[in-house]
Structure 1
Amino acid sequence: MKTRSAVLIFLLIFMISCLPVKKTGSEEEFNRHLYAGLRYIQQKDYFMAKEELKLALNLNPNSVRANNLMGLAYFREKNYDYAEMYFQKAVKVDPKFAAGYLNIGAVYAMKELYPKAREYYERALAIAPDLIAAYYSLGAVYFQLGDQQTGISYLLKGLELDPDFLEKHSDSITGLPMKGSALPELNFAFAKLYASRGDIERTVDYLVRAKQCGFKDWKRIETEPEFASIKEDPRLKEFLK
């Protein structure tokens, strides 16, 4: 089973408003279609979003913002080939557009091409080292690649930069780029990281998620040092029964 993706999407919507509009055709008309497309994406009306963005791209075919949004509309429809085409166009126009590389990484993650996903996430971080979403996404991809130690290091960096990132953006993201086999360990890893910070509420939350994904090795709560300070909490003991 494949889960939905990707952490990046919130950043794309946020960052596009920061880019300048190139004056091609009517700037006012371009902006009208661009932001109409954005509104339709936010309303999950992807057909109308694409119609508006086509009109925007007719006026400015090299707009990073319009190409990125068109890629997002296709991404939301799970048409990953077309999504990648528009994301690639965005980074071709602006090779320093970090969110574009992050989007392409999400496409490859959804295609289960995890080495390629890792490559593009790393390119995004090389451009924007404080891109929090990239750390969470890379952590998830390394879990999928079987390298849990490296995955945890990236997740920890994401938590250090913003421990509330996933919760704050829960309405704007659709989950980490993972499929079923790695999800139990990923959620348990999140529980460990929050346990090491003494955050019992989130520890329990991710233990519940791990259980829902099929995690069974609950004795690790007693043996792994991250749980030492909170393992006597009755809520954690429930998982040991």
Structure 2
Amino acid sequence: MNRFGAPRRWVISVVALATLIGRVGCPPANADQNNPSAREQKILRIQQLIEEHNLEEAQRQLAEATKQYPSDEGLQNLLGVVEAQQGKYGEAETNFRQAIRRAPKFTAAYLNLGRLYQENFPADPETQRKALEVYQRVLEYEPANAEANYQSAVLFLRQGEYQNSLSHVSSLPTETQNSAQALSIRCADSAGLGNRQQTEATVRRLLDAQDFSEADAQQALLGLVPAERDDLIVSLLENLQHREALSPALLQTLGVSYERVNRPADARTTLEKSFAAGKPSVDVLLELTRIARLEKDYQGALGYLAHAQALEPSNARLYYDFGVVCVDLSLIAEARNAFEKAVKLEPENPAYNYAMGAASAFRHDPAEAVPYFEKYLKLKPQDPRGKLAMGAALFRAKDFDAARPWLKEAAATPATASKAHYYLGVMALEAGQLDEAVTELQQVLKDRPDDADALAELGQYCLMRKEYKQAEKYLERALQVDPDHYAANFYLLTLYTRTKDARRAAEEQRFEALKKLLAEKTQEFLRIVEVRPFENP
């Protein structure tokens, strides 16, 4: 069966034009003008020249024929076809519209005009609207026209008007409705309308269709992707892959769907094939980065991002994502360098400023973080996370007076209250305000009973009050939660030293090993930053 194009080939058949012979309506210039067969022969010759792509000669003969038939809509249509093939889209549009004005039911001219809009301005919503209007005009006087119904279905589908699209597919001849072309539209429409049973049934028919091709798969995806039917996308594309090699674009779609149906290994292999087969794509590398992180292959993720940076060195997001993966590896210095590049490229991006401030808070001078958090709060003044981060940076810089107001604001919001109370408690301890300190730290445990930071500081509080048994209880609870907690181990060593506990030597040895382990790691950084990777920052 003849497949529709996307859209169909140029309509230049003599059959379509011969019906117009008796309606030219121009006075005869010579004997040939009253002889329909002579006119038809001219049109046949011009048609042959167009099909041979001899456009220059076709245009010359059209000029001669037009002198004989100056008001002939058929010749006007053919001239539009020639001009369209020459890339003269404005002139072609003019001629198709002139042909339609001369013959308001000249179907070939309508279909050619619709094709002109679809082929040469596919991404322009205005021309898609014009194309749809053209096909709808044909259907006003010829409601069963298969081409107009098919192209209308395609255009409505692209606009997300699934019910209108489905109505036009249902108006096609039965044989056509059973084709993969029509089934792919029905599949997309059913998915878009949320009809799961109909979608699955249509996919089964598509899988059995002998003429199922990549073009049909692409069309079905217009509904399956928005509906997030990744299970069906995988079935369709795996089936197609057995018939023909998938294009890089379809490989990318299949890879993403593999990821969403929890097949990360297949996703990664397929996306790497897509990248190797197609034009180097940062989007594909970002998908690969996401999957590598899911598999905890952080070095692999950095490799993908480094490749992406080479492709788009001015893309700030790539440096931001690189920094996030460095955080995964506790490479804080490298993370800061990456965040710094992101901020330089997009200084008004709040997420980049926040990440840069968080990384800077753990340098030798934590005050370096303050300008970045100030910028973040200027961009997002109501975000309590920024207030907490500002307070934490000032806390680390030992500027307690400046930190306190920010932390008190953060303590008033449930999402940041626990950590704010923790910092306020530590500051009170350092100031010797023990009653205030225990109140703040106990507040943390109300919300988070297993907060190792608060438990460790409560152990320090008890040490300061020489309540050694209670101090040991708090510190042991902290180490049950986090055996490598730096402060809890330090306070426990202090306790053993003061009480001359026999476990002192073993704890001292453990603490020395822990210091080496944590020399370049800052677990607190991970808790404070809470960078949300691979969202649009």
TM range (shorter): 0.5 to 0.7
Whether 1:143 aligns to 2:119 is no
* Residue from 11, 28, 33 that aligns with 1:24: 28
The one-letter code of the counterpart of 1:140 is V
Q: After superposition, give the CA deviation of every residue in 1:30-80 in whole Å (9 maximum; x if it has no partner).
A: 444322111111222222221111111111111121111111122223322
Q: Are 2:232 and 1:220 aligned? A: yes
Instruction: Please give the per-residue CA displacement for 1:87-125, whole angstroms capped at 9, x wherever unaligned.
Output: 111111111223322322222333331111111110111
Counterpart among 187, 212, 222 of residue 205 in structure 1 = 212
How much has 1:9 moved relative to structure 2?
A: 2.7
Calculate percent identity across the aligned residue pairs.
19
Change (3 A) 1:54 1:203: same
Q: 2:300 aligns to what? A: none
1:35–1:130: structure 2 CA closer, same or farther, 3 Å change rule?
same
Q: Indicate whether 1:37 and 2:46 are aligned.
A: yes
Question: Could you say which residue in structure 1 is the equivalent of 2:135?
Answer: 121
2:212 counterpart SS class: helix
What corresponds to 2:80 in structure 1? 71
Return 95-104 or 8-17, whichever deviates more: 8-17
- Contact 1:99–1:124 (Cα < 8 Å) also in 2: no
TM-score, with length taken from structure 1 = 0.68
Matches of 1:193 and 1:45, distance apart in 2:
48
The amino acid that maps onto 1:106 is: R
Residue 51 (str. 1) matches residue 50 (str. 2): no
Which residue is equivalent to 1:88?
97
Shift of 1:237: 10
Q: 2 CA distance for matches of 1:151 and 1:32?
A: 40
Greater helix share, 1 or 2?
2
1:50 maps to a residue whose letter is: Q
Q: CA RMSD in A?
A: 4.1
1:157 is aligned to 171
Larger relative contact order (Cα-Cα within 8 Å, sequence gap ≥ 6):
1
Tell me which structure has the larger Cα radius of gyration.
2
Work out the CA distance in 2 between the residues paired with 1:164 and 1:143. Answer: 18
Mapped contact 1:37–1:53 kept (Cα < 8 A) = yes
Q: Distance in 2 between matches of 1:193 and 1:54?
A: 55
Shift of 1:205: 1.6
Would the alpha carbon gap of residues 11 and 37 (structure 1) be closer, same or farther in structure 2, given more than 3 Å must change?
closer
Matched residue, 1:9: 10
Evaluate the alpha carbon distance shift between residue 137 and residue 209 of structure 1 in structure 2; reply closer, same or farther with a 3 A threshold. closer
The verdict on how the C-alpha distance between 1:92 and 1:47 changes in structure 2, with shifts beyond 3 A counting, is same
Equivalent AA in structure 1 for residue 17 of structure 2: I
| Distance of aligned partners of 1:19 and 1:116 in 2 relative to their CA distance in 1, 3 Å threshold | same
Provide closer, same or farther for how the CA distance between residues 57 and 197 of structure 1 changes in structure 2, counting only shifts above 3 A: farther
Letter in 1 for 2:28: T
Structure 1 residues 237, 159: closer, same or farther in 2, change over 3 A? farther
Please say which of residues 56-65 and 143-152 is displaced more in the overlay: 143-152
Question: CA deviation digits over 1:203-234, x for unaligned, max 9?
Answer: 7724x435678957541369xxxxxxxx8xx9
> Could you tell me how far apart the structure 2 residues matched to 1:135 and 1:213 are?
16
Task: Say if 1:37 and 1:52, in contact at 8 Å, map to a contact too.
Answer: yes
Structure 1: segments with no counterpart, 5+ residues? 168-184, 223-230
1:133 maps to 147
Q: 1:205 to 1:135 in 2, by over 3 A?
A: same
Once residues 86 and 116 of structure 2 are traced to their aligned partners in structure 1, the CA distance between those partners, rounded to angstroms, is 12
Contact 1:75 1:107 in 2 (8 A): yes
User: Deviation of residue 16 (structure 1)?
Assistant: 1.4
Alignment: residue pair count: 211
